[in-house]
Amino acid sequence: MKTTVSGGTVDTARHARMWLGLTLLGLALILLLTGCGGYSRAPHEPEGVRIIRGLTYATGDGQALQLDLYLPETYQQPLPLVVWLHGGGWIFGSHTSCPIANLALRGYAVASVSYRLSGLTSPVAFPTQLHDCKAAVRWLRHSAWRFGCDGERIAVMGVSAGAHLAALLGTTADDQELEGTLGETGPSSRVQAVVALFPATDLLALEQSDPDHWRVKLVALGLLDGRPSERPRLARSASPALHATHDSAPFLIFHGRDDTMIPFNQSERLHAALIAAGASSRLVLYDHLSHSDEALDRSELLTAMHGFLDALLHPIPLVASGVH
């Protein structure tokens, strides 16, 4: 069933590290078992799709930030782009497995983007992750012509942590406080559409709803380097629902009513904020929707996603032969 809504110093430090390590291990097991880390399935590399791996879009802290590009084997007009952001709690996951690569068979280019992840000894605090994603969009807009793509037709899509970042891309276009200075800085990081599956959208509300839930520890470890209540200003800055304006990109949001990782009222908050601001948003709620990449196997979800992207990005009809 679905519902659619339109419109001790040494000892203490050692114990702290041990607690963090055990917490990360537990979270790793949960995320990997549910598929949110991006490892639950083999990479989707359908026949007829050309893959360009390891394109560096920026360098951050001495680390090459890369993306993989999926293209039709043949096409004769510029392709719209869909950016994929993997899940994994801002701690795990990899861009090298892209479950939406088959969009390349529907007349799109797909860019599966890496972003910096937090670790036990090297926490990555917001807005680093968003800076990376914005840099990727700017690079794609600047470099699209090299690959026969249209840099003015860019959508972003993600699950879980990736959906959170996708939602921020859709609500913070050209916000200089969150833009960052990585890589190409001239082009805009604005996107033309967002597809978000089970995102966290209001981090303070997420903690207030159940302060002892492990997901609050995940936000603290993976995103904020502290609990939302300990870093309220940063938590608000990292909450897509609090950035919604009439200028936000059109949104399509999916969530499961029985989601035990991120409650579906987080998507309701984002949807309500977008509608109240005068932006375009559609929220689709399902019973028993997997909080993982496996949600993308649901046929009615795919139909809704394809219709949304097609209407906004106008993919090209593919031909049996030819060159781009």
148 has pLDDT over 60: yes
Q: What is the mean pLDDT of residues 257-282?
A: 97
Q: State mean pLDDT over 156-181.
A: 96
The percentage of residues in the chain with a pLDDT greater than 90, rounded to a whole number, is 78
Name the packing angle between helices 128-143 and 161-171 (round to 10°). Answer: 60
Q: Is the pLDDT of residue 5 over 90?
A: no
**How far apart (Å, rounded) are the C-alpha atoms in residues 215 and 90?**
12
In the structure encoding, which two tokens stand for residue 64, read together?
A: 């090459």
Would you give the distance in Å from CA 82 to the centre of its chain?
11
Look at residue 151 and give its three-state secondary structure.
Answer: strand
pLDDT tops 80 at residue 324: no
Rounded mean pLDDT of 138-147? Answer: 97
Is 130:168 a contact under the CB 8 Å cutoff?
Answer: yes
**pLDDT greater than 80 at residue 68:** yes
Is the pLDDT assigned to residue 43 strictly greater than 60? Answer: no
Whether the pLDDT of residue 234 is over 80: the answer is yes
β-strands 281-286, 149-159: how paired?
Answer: unpaired
Q: What is the pLDDT of residue 119?
A: 85
